Amino acid sequence: MALRLVTTGLRTIDTRRLKPMAKKADGHYQTPEHKQWRASVIERAGGRCEALTIDGKRCRKAAPDHRMFADHKVEIKDGGAPFDLDNGQCLCGQHHSLKTAQARAARR
């Protein structure tokens, strides 16, 4: 006896086919002032992530093997100075993502 598939008649959407919204970069990050600030922050850190690990040691990730981000310690959205070197830190991708997620969660 052959098995028959039963259809419910409900329509579904395959979410794997939906494209995410296009990312739109903030114009601030394209300015010459920001590019200079970014270069200065990363250079000051020696191209190495400034985050501390659980045991209190500095993260070992560094350029050129890893992408470095010039991160605002106090985010611009939270009133941080956009071009103040004291408000900048060099972070690897992992630590930058963690810090950004924590800042967003605190903002909610």
Where is pLDDT greater, at 63 or 21? 63
Report whether 54 contacts 71 (CB < 8 A). no
Q: In the structure, what pLDDT confidence band is assigned to residue 9 with cuts at 50, 70 and 90?
A: low
SS3 44: helix
**Structure confidence at residue 14 (pLDDT):** 66
pTM of the shown model: 0.74
Q: What residues form DSSP beta bridges with 69? A: 91
- What pLDDT, on the 0 to 100 scale, is given for residue 23? 78
Asked if 63 and 47 count as a contact pair (C-beta separation under 8 A), the reply is yes
